[in-house]
Structure 1
Amino acid sequence: MALNVSGLVALIVFYAITLATGIWASRKGKKEENTKPSEVAMVGHRKMNFCIGLSTATATWVGGAYINGTAEIVYLSSRGLVWVQAPAGFALSLLLGGLFFVNPMRSKNYVTMMDPIQEAYGNVMGSLLFLPPLIADVFWFAAILASLGATMKVILDIQDYLAIILSACTVILYTLLGGLYSVAYTDVIQLAFITVSLWICIPFAIMNSATESISYTAASNSFQAPWIGKVEMQYVGRWLDDFLYLVLGGIPWQTYFQRVLSASSSREGRLISYLSGVGCFVMAIPSVLIGAVAASTDWNQTDYGLPSPNDRGESALILPLVLHHLCPLYISIGGLGALAAAVMSSGDSALLSASSMFAHNIYRKVLRTKATENDVLWAMRASMVAFGAVSAALAFYSHSIYDLWFLGGELVYALLFPQLCCVLFIPSTNTYGSAAGFLFGLLLRLLAGEPSLKIPPVIHYPGCFLVDGAYIQLFPFKIVTMLATLLTIVSVSYLAAFLFKANILPSKWDVCKIMKDDRVLISLAQKEKRDECTKTEEL
């Protein structure tokens, strides 16, 4: 296969347009700067246009891993459509986020999701709890860079490392220049390009002579198992566990809160959350159709030949393979542009998310408490470069796009989601409970093992089977780990407060100073009562 020069030129033009848009948007952001330019970069001065906010919220979730992973799962003979949980899971996640989380976060004008945690549990716990979302964002960006590199290798016949480096540098540059404004305005172009390009590919793929009717192969497929798929009884627990992980684990992400916190009001923030959930679900339809087409194709009638992608272990590349072998060249190039746009729309969000939390919650509040606004901005930019470089390096070693994408948020789900729920809805929890929940949840998750990282489980939950040399946990251990973390935070918080209030433990052992706040509140209440009595006596 020869280098596709025209496709490469078209891709470079698209990258140039995206970069130019990001630079233009960065100038708009500078016009909004007042005494807090860092807040403009992080949350757009809290007056982001509603349509722009909706587009960037939708585009953030519709990344390269989302598009590629959805097509891959539909195509896999061992999975099928019923295992494609991300579209419905993320849609419900955004609905729950709008119903319960937007108001308490927006009403207090928080800048990041770490603000209430740091406010309630202190800087040490805030720094520890910053690690799970940082790891998740880095893995997320790495997963989508890997998906784009693999796609370009199939369609353009260029080395994947070139695609990864080019994409990472472009995303870092315009995100570094304009912050949220650059990310939001480029997301508008990217979302439009994803929608148009993928839908144009569908008719050509479906009508290819090597493809049977997808309505027929949904129930009876002569090439492999029907693409609708099924959930065996023994896998029901795993299916529910993964689904709840997507629904609840999709909430505690700075990329989500960055969008709703940038809205001009809580009402707009909720609307953005609801409507972006609908958009996220709709944007999965082209990938589902492409996966169904791949499962309905006689690959021996194409240039790809036999064995099939499934038999060759190339199911992760099924979307670019369909574009390349079942569509005309100019159409496949358009589809490649859609994937590039999807990678950028999620990659810039991941970078902005991680760098915002580092600059605002770690650099400003922990490392340099007297840092100026300019210092915070430069810390944010430097961290973007560092996190982007790490993600690009990890992308070179990614072997399973879907596993890496799925794994990225597990620590956030197990460790951060319970903490966020406690600080927003159970304010009586304290630092002791937070620390105990973090350590216990982390220990439980590590002891459950991870097949994609070849970590064997120490805890063998019911339904733990050895498959191809690796243990698979079919028990819903993710929800168990999350709930165990939540219960630990609450129970240890109440226990610690009781022990100190009852003087069972001496106050000098209260290293987290949880009783200091209570004493201040009691003192204020007593003062108010005395003032009221004084006023009554004077009257």
Structure 2
Amino acid sequence: MLNVPGLVAIIIFYLAILSVGLWAAWRRRGITDTDEVMLAGRSIGTFVGILTMTATWVGGGYINGSAESIFTSGLIWCQAPFGYAISLSLGGMFFAKPMREAGYVTMLDPLQDKFGKRWGGMLYLPAVLGETLWSAAILSALGSTLAVILDLNNELSIIVSAAIAVAYTLFGGLYSVAYTDVVQLFCIFIGLWISIPFAIKHEAVGSLAPSDTDWLGSIEEPHLWGEWIDYAVLLIFGGIPWQVYFQRVLSAKTSRNAQILSFAGSLGCFIMAVPACIIGAIAKATDWTATDYNQTISTKAQTKLVLPLVLQYLTPGWVAFLGLGAVSAAVMSSADSSVLSASSMFARNIYKNVLRPKASENELIWVMRGSVIVVAISASAIAIKGNSIYELFYLCGDFVYVMLFPQLTMTVHGAKYVNVYGSIVAYVVGLLLRILGGEKVLGIPPVLKYPWFKDGTQYFPFRTLSMVVTLIVLVLVSALAKYLFKSGKLPSSFDTFKVFSEDTQVVITMKSKNSSNGVDNPALDMESSSDKIRPPSYKQALDSTNF
């Protein structure tokens, strides 16, 4: 039966969020600069920046998925809050400063700067896949919550929620997203913490002592450690190469601010996971047959509803509405960020850099808005079909971790050791290894069966192995290509991407000019390496064009 008071409450909440987003968009009306829309003019302050950084990660998948994981497997398997918190800290230590100081606009800029616009654009595929699956996990969480508490249709709930987030993102860009994040984060914090005391006091809830409820969980078989390590490392390092993260970093006023946002966001993510974990423990200690729900929670379809079930059956109605507002806020705070990130990369790195280099700023903004709609529709479709929030949560980082993390890391911290030939081979190898390892969520059977393979599951940390192999292939093939071309074992005509032949031509021309003046420059003879003479960097291009 439709919960009319709850429906009215959620409509009021949605209208409030939409109003804040549209107000922020109105303040920036008339702006036709992509830098303003994508990065809020690089004017995000420390306070707003910390809150929007935290809210970006603390989405519906994060909240509902953490509660689901505590209920099904225990705290030891609830790795996302810890993994992503550590990931933000590592991002602040090793990536925030160099990326912000370089003046990049998106995460793909350094990749296109190093590997060329066309091949660098190919790295958009794992990035957009990750952002889309992330949004799907978020929307799936909200759909299930609204379905339980308000008795609304799951599909309708997902579509309406996505439409609200898209509405203010279309016109306000990051500026609207950041301001709504501030409101949403407070709603999440207040809504979840208020529900906990009421839920604990419910008569159907038993002891929360670990010895009675076992909400801590355990790893009973040795081979399970392989799977645990694989997911832990994936979340830590696979949580770095996300445009949704770098969009906040690059919008900061200074590189120092960018680091502060990362470190503070790390702490915020950890803190915001606490109430969700407690709610998961409460659900595990509850005799659900003694509640109005009157049945046990055992299937996947039920476990993904753990958090909304606690709100609906263990708390008073008005508290459940507050909790629903918290989950709704968490969803929109992350969904809007993800669709904006994916569309920003498409508009700039694909449409502008590859398809239409002469596109105007106004044209790019409209392309970005169209992309926002496409990504939101795709994420909504996946959310409607998805079974487990937490599985989507893990899966969204898989391809980003295996295919993108090694490429971004070497581009930022070891650019002279890699080139486009190594990037292409590493890309293909990483993709093949990950697919051949199988994926139950997508129904892909494993072709390569690693040690500890059992009952269709890879317990060996094959994702991490795939990432390491991708990294090694990237460096080794890059070195091999450089040696073959520089030594003359491969003719310059084979240098399809003109990585080495153009540099050699530049050196010969420079040397000829010096020789014509009767001056020999022995140092110049050593400059034939592409690591020494290369086209102006993306940062230099920005400086010269005042973009």
Q: How does 1:33-112 map to 2 (within 5 A)?
A: 33=31, 37-76=33-72, 79-112=73-106
Q: Which residue of 1 aligns with 2:413?
A: 425
1:494 aligns with 2:493: no
Amino acid at match of 1:340: S
Separation (CA, whole Å) in 2 of partners of 1:60 and 1:237: 29
Q: Is the 8 A contact 1:133 1:412 kept in 2?
A: yes
Amino acid at match of 2:282: V
1:295 aligns with 2:284: yes
Separation (CA, whole Å) in 1 of partners of 2:35 and 2:300: 49
Q: CA RMSD in A?
A: 1.9
Shift of 1:312: 7.5
Q: Deviations over 1:77-122 (max 9, x none)?
A: xx11111111111111011100000121111100000000011101
Separation (CA, whole Å) in 1 of partners of 2:74 and 2:120: 40
Change in Cα spacing, 1:85 to 1:530, as seen in structure 2 (3 Å) is farther
Q: Name structure 2 gaps, 5 residues minimum.
A: 522-547
Separation (CA, whole Å) in 2 of partners of 1:137 and 1:458: 27
Separation (CA, whole Å) in 1 of partners of 2:300 and 2:233: 32
Change in Cα spacing, 1:89 to 1:524, as seen in structure 2 (3 Å) is farther
Secondary structure of 1:229's aligned partner: coil
Separation (CA, whole Å) in 1 of partners of 2:105 and 2:38: 7
Shift of 1:341: 0.4
Amino acid at match of 1:478: R
Secondary structure of 2:454's aligned partner: strand
Change in Cα spacing, 1:524 to 1:360, as seen in structure 2 (3 Å) is farther
Q: Deviations over 1:23-68 (max 9, x none)?
A: 111123347x4xx611111111112121111111000000000100
Shift of 1:521: 6.2
Q: Which residue of 1 aligns with 2:345?
A: 357
1:395 aligns with 2:383: yes
Q: Deviations over 1:215-252 (max 9, x none)?
A: x2x1123xxxx111011222111111100000000000
Q: How does 1:278-427 map to 2 (within 5 A)?
A: 278-306=267-295, 308-310=296-298, 313-427=301-415
TM-score by length of 1: 0.93
Q: Which residue of 2 aligns with 1:14?
A: 13
Shift of 1:20: 0.8
Shift of 1:394: 1.8
Q: Is the 8 A contact 2:50 2:264 kept in 1?
A: yes
Amino acid at match of 1:3: L
Amino acid at match of 1:280: C
Shift of 1:311: 5.3
Spell out structure 1 runs of 4+ moving beyond 2 A.
27-31, 310-313, 516-536
TM-score by length of 2: 0.92
- The one of 115, 121, 125 equivalent to 2:115 is 121
Number of equivalences:
519
Separation (CA, whole Å) in 1 of partners of 2:188 and 2:136: 20
Amino acid at match of 2:6: G
Separation (CA, whole Å) in 2 of partners of 1:140 and 1:313: 19
Q: Which residue of 1 aligns with 2:126?
A: 132
Shift of 1:310: 2.2
Shift of 1:517: 4.9
Q: Deviations over 1:463-506 (max 9, x none)?
A: 0101xxxx100001111000100111100001011001111111
Q: Deviations over 1:139-191 (max 9, x none)?
A: 11112111111111110011111211111111111000100000000000000
Secondary structure of 1:112's aligned partner: coil
1:457 aligns with 2:446: yes
Amino acid at match of 2:11: I
Q: Which residue of 2 aligns with 1:245?
A: 234
Separation (CA, whole Å) in 2 of partners of 1:28 and 1:54: 21
Q: Is the 8 A contact 2:169 2:177 kept in 1?
A: yes
Q: Is the 8 A contact 2:138 2:331 kept in 1?
A: yes
Q: Deviations over 1:400-435 (max 9, x none)?
A: 111112111110100000100111111121110000
Change in Cα spacing, 1:265 to 1:252, as seen in structure 2 (3 Å) is same
Identity of aligned residues (%): 47
Shift of 1:526: 4.8
Separation (CA, whole Å) in 1 of partners of 2:508 and 2:45: 45
Separation (CA, whole Å) in 2 of partners of 1:369 and 1:151: 44
Q: Name structure 1 gaps, 5 residues minimum.
A: none
Amino acid at match of 1:491: L
Separation (CA, whole Å) in 1 of partners of 2:515 and 2:237: 47
Secondary structure of 1:281's aligned partner: helix
Shift of 1:323: 0.5
Amino acid at match of 1:64: G
Change in Cα spacing, 1:412 to 1:305, as seen in structure 2 (3 Å) is same
Separation (CA, whole Å) in 1 of partners of 2:247 and 2:518: 47
